[in-house]
Amino acid sequence: MDQGEDQGLRAIVSTARLWMREVLPQDAPVMFAMNNDPEVMRFTGDRPFPSLAAAETFIRAYPDYQLNGFGRWAVILKGEEVPIGWCGLKRHTDGMIDLGYRLVRPHWGNGYATEASHACLDWGFQRVDIHEVLGRTARENRASVRVLEKIGMRYWRSEPCEGIPDSLIYRIRRSDPR
């Protein structure tokens, strides 16, 4: 059992090195710091949180867990308590579901984004009966393109996407071989 699970925090998804759970208000310092790192935010199209209080307010008001039964989850190294980022599925108002991930910079290049993303896809296809998931990234974000390709997504099209004018859209369907 992981330390976080010992403290009553339920793992939703677990991998060989990671466990994921809902993002909690206590995670605000990590999420605030991550979203204020210019290199982390470089390709996201998102704006940084203006304050730690704003990060906590965002987390407290995050509706996806209640609305859809899933969302972006805190990614935690096994044996640790503090998140190293987030990963998960998000249902948009048009019904489209996308996979997103963001990690603090010291944990880049270790395969954690790929491992977490693969686990989230499996969870969505097996537990929620999702049939198709999109992955969207800036064309210049070669690391993110590699993650999407490693988890079995294939390039589908290009179009502007939420603050990213030159976005690549990748897609995977439950029936696709991986």
Tokens of 84: 């190293």
Is residue 60 in a domain? yes
Is residue 47 in a domain? yes
* CATH code for position 85: 3.40.630.30
The position carrying tokens 């976080």 is 4
Q: Where are the beta strands (DSSP E) in 30-111?
A: 72-77, 85-91, 97-103
Is residue 178 in a domain? no
Backbone angles phi, psi at 30, to 5 degrees: -70, -45
Q: Give the global pTM.
A: 0.92
pLDDT tier, 9 (very low <50, low <70, confident <90, very high otherwise): low
CA distance 35 to 89: 19
pLDDT tier, 177 (very low <50, low <70, confident <90, very high otherwise): confident
Is residue 118 in a domain? yes
Taking residues 154-158, what's their average pLDDT? 96
Is residue 109 in a domain? yes
- Residue 21's domain comprises 3-173
CA distance 9 to 2: 9
Number of domains making up the chain: 1
Tens of pLDDT, residues 95-123: 999 999 999 999 999 999 999 999 999 99
Is residue 149 in a domain? yes
The answer to which of 8-22, 66-80, 127-141 has the lowest mean pLDDT is: 8-22
